Amino acid sequence: MASSTRDSDLEHEDEIRMWREDDGWVITDVETGVTTQGETREHALEMLDEALALHRGEGESIDTPEEEQEALRELGIDPDEVEAAREENDELPDFMQ
């Protein structure tokens, strides 16, 4: 098992913490608190990069209903379910608020 020691007074830029949880990996950007997960360490890092870009406002904007539907599909969310929730409740589902 690898270990390291460091001066606790040092500040580190771009520090992340990663740990195994169930069948995947959880990763947190220490500075922002942004946390995500992935099936592999590499996937968790990719997801963190994407989440941090969105956190910083660097994500792509969604300007049309078609773009929204495509973005939802890419996230594994059924656009029809979102539309039905909007019509039924006249508000967004909890996960989109």
Q: So what's the pLDDT on residue 92?
A: 62
Whether residue 48 sits in one domain with residue 75 = no
Q: Classify residue 23: in a domain, yes or no.
A: yes
pLDDT at 40 over 60: yes
Q: Classify residue 60: in a domain, yes or no.
A: no
pLDDT band at 25 (very low <50, low <70, confident <90, very high): very high
CB burial string 65-92: b at 16+ within 10 A, e below: eeeebeebeeeeeeeeebeebeeeeeee
For residue 34, the enclosing domain spans 16-55
Q: Classify residue 74: in a domain, yes or no.
A: yes
Q: Pick from 76, 71, 68, 22: which is nearest to 44 by CA?
A: 22
Whether residue 72 sits in one domain with residue 50 = no
Q: Which residues pair with 38 in a beta bridge?
A: 25
| 0.85 exceeded by pTM | no
Whether residue 44 sits in one domain with residue 21 = yes
Q: So what's the pLDDT on residue 93?
A: 60
Q: Classify residue 2: in a domain, yes or no.
A: no
Whether residue 71 sits in one domain with residue 51 = no
Q: Classify residue 26: in a domain, yes or no.
A: yes
Number of domains in the chain: 2
Whether residue 32 sits in one domain with residue 50 = yes
Q: What is the pLDDT of residues 49-96, one digit of tens each?
A: 989 988 888 877 778 989 889 988 888 889 998 888 778 876 666 666
Q: Classify residue 10: in a domain, yes or no.
A: no
